[in-house]
A = this chain, B = another copy of it.
Amino acid sequence: MRRIHLTIEYDGTNYAGWQRQSNALAVQQVLEEALSRLTGERVVLHGASRTDAGVHALGQSAHFDTQSRIPGEKFSYAVNTMLPPDIRVSASEDADPNFHARFSTVGKRYRYLFYDAHHAGALNRLTHAHSIYPLNERLMQAEANALIGTHDFAAFAASGSVVRDTVRTIWRADVTRQGHDVMLIVEGSGFLYNMVRIIAGTLRDIGSGKLEPGALIRAIETGDRLDLGVTAPAHGLTLMEVFYRLPETCAIPVPPKRAYPAPDEEEA
């Protein structure tokens, strides 16, 4: 038995998220069916992040086991011929049998894109959340700095979340502007359900003047979701990379991983 590691890109617009659903088409299902046809086996994929409906990925990561003799790096070419153009396997390789796409992660990078113009964009409408209010990216960056460090992010989980351990480490939170595009990049040890979209929405509300600066620090202290802004829409979010080694640019201590994330707890 071999273990194959895939890096996956998708446009989440037309999918019910990563995870297989009984009543809607998910990216995992499309990939599993293509890999099953390719190998003649019943392939089960283990993905690193259960991205929500509408969320995109440039660097989703997943693994599966197979007895196929296809060389590891050839899987990407072979399976891409069987996939719709909005899902691509950008790399494939043989992995150690102890490697696990979800449990071996030490962190992830997400990107959130806003477009602050009078009118929504036509060409960027699937990847950028439109803000009719101008965003002050310096105010947003000053606010985002409060995220850096190891904190209890209990306030940052969507209601209904069942996570027990809500402590996470964030080592990067950059807000930059290019024209009308305002981009948030966050890197951290893990993210609770909807956490990046709640961070993005809070920064947007502060950047547009709807919310007072200091909300992130306050919410970390109080643990109260009501201290934060409105969750930003799914389509502005992209999973950029899954880390299996901390990046060299990580300049703060990251506590060793505990039992979290428990198998079904972590989501985007």
Chain A residues within 8 Å of B, Cβ to Cβ? 9-11, 56, 58, 76-77, 80, 85-91, 117-123, 125, 127, 238
Query: How distant is the Cα of A80 from the Cα of B118 in the complex, in angstroms?
Result: 11
For the complex formed, measure the closest distance between the CB of A209 and the CB atoms of chain B, giving whole angstroms.
21
Q: With A11-B122, A86-B122 given, can you name 18 additional A-B contacts, CB distance below 8 Å?
A: A9-B119, A9-B123, A10-B122, A10-B123, A58-B123, A76-B118, A77-B119, A85-B120, A86-B125, A87-B122, A88-B120, A88-B122, A90-B117, A90-B118, A90-B119, A91-B118, A123-B127, A123-B238
Name, among A87, A122, A238, the residue most crowded by chain B CB atoms within 10 Å (CB to CB): A122
Is A119 within 8 A of B10, CB to CB? Answer: no
Copy count, this protein chain: 2
* Shortest CB distance A26–B (Å): 15
10 contacts across the A-B interface (CB closer than 8 A)? A9-B119, A76-B118, A77-B119, A85-B125, A86-B122, A88-B120, A88-B122, A90-B118, A91-B118, A123-B238
Task: Determine how close the nearest CB of chain B comes to the CB of A50; give it in whole angstroms.
Answer: 18
- CB proximity of A86 to chain B, nearest CB, Å: 5
**Can you list the 10 inter-chain pairs with the closest CB atoms, starting with the nearest?**
A9-B122, A88-B122, A10-B122, A11-B123, A11-B122, A86-B122, A90-B119, A88-B119, A85-B125, A56-B123
Q: Could you tell me the distance between the alpha carbons of A10 and B89 in the complex, rounded to whole angstroms?
A: 29
Q: Which residues of B contact A121 (CB under 8 A)?
A: 9, 88
How near does chain B come to A159, taking the closest CB pair, in angstroms?
30
Q: Inside 8 A of A120's CB, which chain B residues have their CB? A: 80, 85, 88
Q: Looking at A76, A87, A123, which has the most chain B CB atoms within 10 Å of its CB?
A: A123
> In the complex, which residues of chain B have a beta carbon less than 8 angstroms from the beta carbon of A77?
119
Give bound CA distance, A77 to B89, whole Å: 40
Taking the nearest CB of chain B, how far is it from the CB of A34, in angstroms? 14
What's the Cα separation between A221 and B119 when bound, in Å?
Answer: 45
For the complex, give the distance between the alpha carbons of A218 and B9 in Å: 41
In the complex, A264 Cα to B244 Cα: how many Å?
A: 58
Contact: A11 with B90, CB < 8 Å? Answer: no
Instruction: Report A70 CB to chain B, min CB distance, Å.
Output: 16
What B residues does A56 contact at CB under 8 A? 123
Residue of B nearest to A127 (CB): B123
